Amino acid sequence: MNSNFCVATLLNKNKMKRELYHAIIRCIDGEEFDLENTLRKLKEIFPSERPESLRSILTQQYSRKVKNTYSAQTSELKRKEYCDKFEESLNGNVSKDKQSESGCTIIDIAKKNRFSPALTARIILSERLSLNCNDIDLKKHVKALLKDTNLIPDGKLALEVWRACLEDGNYGHFSECIKSAVGNEYEKRLKQNLRRLDISFQDEHDLRNSGCDKTPDIVLDVPFATKDGAIINWIESKALFGCDENHENYLKDQLRCYWNRFGTGLVIYWFGFIHEMRKPSLDEGILIEEAFPADDQLIFMNRLYNNSDELLYDQNSLENFDLNQHVNIDSGDNSSVLLSMQDNEESHKTLNGLVLSVTESIENTKI
């Protein structure tokens, strides 16, 4: 297959079609299990795609492969194979043509088996320490060693484990820290947009303090609408690419719960999503975007009046009221007063109608 064919035929101005997504997945599966080298290839083949989208798709596909093969990769036979190869490298019993290409034996073992370097390092550590620890103590001890490799007494092994965890883009302590930092950064961007527009909201910390268990990142105190016709009551921030599989999992585990509790809402996949997912998701009451909507796409509820405005109006009316300048109702000249009363009644009816209409629209988004 000509890998360059996709770019001209499948691209649709920043909207990734499902067919293009599958072309990227096929390209990933055909490359060596090396995140950085594969990412460089993807950038060359799909130059019009955002690099962060390609990286997110790549890391998701690697995670998928690791999960699918985890049982086989961690079997007793495989564990012994990993340890034997590592011992050979430590003892220098490896021919020149089989010496480490990356300078790290654990990384090379992981690449050849299309597995995670950090998980491979954990297997080797577990096997080397299994004679001295029972299962529970072993897991705790290995976790501590992976987090701080300075605690590993063998210097060569410590360096190998550190390198393996550092270069693993999906698993391990370093990777989890990076994912957490990226997620927090995009949540911060979301909140900055809301504050810029003076939109009042509660975040997940506020909601948990008030007793909610499953909470989106943001719940709006007053909903707004978009020109797509969606009313937004809550917003969920996802610093990743939205594909069919993970979006369906989020619908099942999170988003439908939010819809049941708070009404219709918005999910932002900051690194893009498969364009064909948008309509069926919107039909379920959940709008998908890849950024916070532009200001000209937002529709806010008009502030007709509030209690303080009404009180101020009443006080000003009383202060400016002069009985001598108004019509004497007792004298029979009451036509203008009646007309004024009718106008006020009509304006109140219009006002009440608008409030009921908006309230009904919002309530219809909830159960």
Maximum Cα interatomic distance, the chain, rounded to a whole number of Å:
118
- Please give the Cα distance from 125 to 118 (Å, whole number): 11
What is the reported pLDDT for 5? 34
What class has domain 200-299? Answer: alpha beta
User: Above 60 in pLDDT, residue 79?
Assistant: yes
Which of the 8 DSSP states describes residue 101? S
- Please give the Cα distance from 353 to 47 (Å, whole number): 53
Specify the DSSP element, H or E, that contains 62. helix 51-73
In angstroms, the Cα distances linking 93 to 3, 87, 117 are: 40, 9, 22
Pick the most confident of 90-99, 289-298, 358-367.
289-298
Q: What pLDDT digit, counting tens, does each position of 30-75 carry?
A: 998 999 999 999 999 999 999 999 999 999 999 999 999 999 999 9
Q: What pLDDT digit, counting tens, does each position of 183-203 carry?
A: 999 999 999 999 999 999 999
229 falls in which pLDDT band (50, 70, 90)?
confident
Average pLDDT over residues 279-296: 94
**Amino acid symbol at 159:** L
Is residue 45 a contact partner of residue 30, using CB atoms and an 8 Å limit?
no
Which of the 8 DSSP states describes residue 235? E
For residue 121 the two structure tokens come to: 């390092």
User: Above 50 in pLDDT, residue 313?
Assistant: no
User: Above 60 in pLDDT, residue 206?
Assistant: yes
In angstroms, the Cα distances linking 38 to 32, 59, 303, 317 are: 7, 11, 53, 73
Phi, psi (5° rounding) for residue 320? -90, 0
Q: Give percent above pLDDT 70 in the chain.
A: 74
- Please give the Cα distance from 38 to 28 (Å, whole number): 7
CA-closest candidate to residue 292, choices 220, 216, 236: 236
- Please give the Cα distance from 295 to 16 (Å, whole number): 23
Q: What pLDDT digit, counting tens, does each position of 95-132 carry?
A: 544 545 656 899 999 999 999 999 999 999 888 877 55
Minimum mean pLDDT range among 177-186, 221-230, 305-314:
305-314
- Please give the Cα distance from 68 to 253 (Å, whole number): 20
353 falls in which pLDDT band (50, 70, 90)?
low
- Please give the Cα distance from 106 to 89 (Å, whole number): 10
- 3-state SS track over 275-295: HHHHHHHHHCCEEEECCCCCH
- Residue 213, number of CB atoms within 10 A of its CB: 8
- Please give the Cα distance from 85 to 92 (Å, whole number): 11
What is the reported pLDDT for 209? 82
